[in-house]
Structure 1
Amino acid sequence: MTKVARSGAPNRREKRRQAILDAAREIFLEQGYGATSLNDIVSVSGGSLATLYDLFGGKAGLFQAMIEQECQNFFGVLDSRDIDEQPLREALHIVARQFFDGVIQQPKMSLLRVVVAEAPHFPEVGATFYSVGPARGREMVSTYLEKQSRRGLLAVDDPDRAADVFIALVLGEYQMKVLCGEDVKLTPKEVDRYLDYTLDAFLKIYGPEHWAAGGDHAAECGGKLRP
């Protein structure tokens, strides 16, 4: 009996943790960070305040855990080693599609709206979201681009700046549209055409053939690939 109870305890604890996270996501998105109380979350998730404090340490810890889970779900595909095994353009298309889909999906953008609205009053909310969301995404793209540059498939002298260019090209005007409440409706073919155009533009800047042709960027950096 004791062994069964002990072996089952972590499962129950994890289920309770997930129930609290699910409730927190629902209520934070509906009410915002400042207007949400832990009692609101417990009333939806069940359990007790004591359990919530034990698992998350309080409201700030709960919000951070919720954000981290959202970002892990979003970036999970980019953590996959399969990306490295794909041809360059196919891999870039996968990454671009993940970022673009994240922009036009209302639930994810609703979370960003909450962060933007609450950050002036709760700076830690903005800092938490940026560190585990946009900053992490930028780092992952930067690491991938640097790796491909070392392989000779790209000509990237500054991986962080190249990541900024890539993400900006992918998000384009759509991020601002969705933040402003516009409903972006594109067919899969329209998305693919847009992303193909985006990748064409990116590879014109960072494709090794551009440097070999003596582009301005090549001249500025001596025409050499990063070692």
Structure 2
Amino acid sequence: MTSEQPAPQDPKAQLVLEAATKIFLQRGFSAATTDMIQKEAGVSKATVYNRYPNKEALFFAVIEKGCSNTISQVKAIQASADSIDKVLAEIGYTYLKFTLSREGLALFRTVAAEAIRFPNIADAFYTAGPKMTLEIISEHIARAADRNEIKVQSIGVEQAASLFISMLRGEGHMIGVMYADSVPSQIQIEKWTKNAVDTFMKAFAP
């Protein structure tokens, strides 16, 4: 991520960021230009460059914006759930709701398409989103294991968390990536989440 970002209350920076999100997710990183973003935002070039020095900085900001809201919601679950199955169910639903949304899928496609040419962009996305989610789930699983709610010694905490995320994403993410018009219903997201939680709890029951 860039070391300096505009102040969050800066209204023009928000206009530029919203325009950048739209352009990047429609056209991809390589095809998008700062001219397109400037015109979409309805501001001057000076306004864009005073807040974001280049296109890469803009895309980093889009990644951070896309991931931060979901991560904040996932972190907040820590105090609201009292058992590991409830924690995983809440986290799973929150995570899938963004991951399988139009914006979440478009962001994933855009980053994946540029990963070879721009590995720093892929790293920024992985660090801000998937890695952070894995760490949060790992913390919950470790605490649940200490309470003897589950036993994950056979594969370890982080692998157990990774397995849960893999079950959670599963077919739904593949369908979403491949079919741009595919948007799952709330019922479907709840079903995928429940299947992942139920399978996880049966596999690691004490």
Q: How does the TM-score come out when normalised to structure 2?
A: 0.84
Q: Distance in 2 between matches of 1:11 and 1:205?
A: 46
Could you tell me which runs of 5 or more consecutive residues in structure 2 were left unpaired when the two chains were aligned. 1-5
Q: Which residue of 2 aligns with 1:162?
A: 160
> SS of the counterpart of 1:80?
helix
Counterpart of 1:106 in structure 2: which amino acid? R
Q: Does 1:46 align with 2:42?
A: yes
Q: Does 1:112 align with 2:105?
A: no
Q: Does 1:67 align with 2:47?
A: no
Q: Distance in 2 between matches of 1:135 and 1:122?
A: 18
Supply the RMSD in Å over aligned alpha carbons. Answer: 2.4
Q: Does 1:145 align with 2:151?
A: no
Match of 1:15 among 11, 33, 55: 11
Q: Is contact 1:177-1:184 (8 Å) kept?
A: yes
Q: Is contact 1:83-1:91 (8 Å) kept?
A: no
Q: Which has the larger radius of gyration?
A: 1
TM-superposition CA deviations, 1:102-150 (whole Å, max 9, x none): 3332221011111122222322222221121111111111122112222
Q: Is contact 2:97-2:189 (8 Å) kept?
A: no
Q: Does 1:192 align with 2:190?
A: yes
Identity %: 27
Could you tell me which runs of 5 or more consecutive residues in structure 1 were left unpaired when the two chains were aligned. 1-9, 209-227
Q: Which residue of 1 aligns with 2:21?
A: 25
Q: Which has the higher contact order (CA 8 A, sep 6+)?
A: 2
1:163/1:34 CA distance change after superposition, 3 Å: same
Q: How does the TM-score come out when normalised to structure 1?
A: 0.77
- Aligned pairs, number: 199
Q: Distance in 1 between matches of 2:26 and 2:195?
A: 36
Q: Which residue of 1 aligns with 2:3?
A: none
1:95/1:60 CA distance change after superposition, 3 Å: same
> SS of the counterpart of 1:34?
coil
1:66/1:127 CA distance change after superposition, 3 Å: same
Counterpart of 2:120 in structure 1: which amino acid? E
Q: Does 1:93 align with 2:89?
A: yes
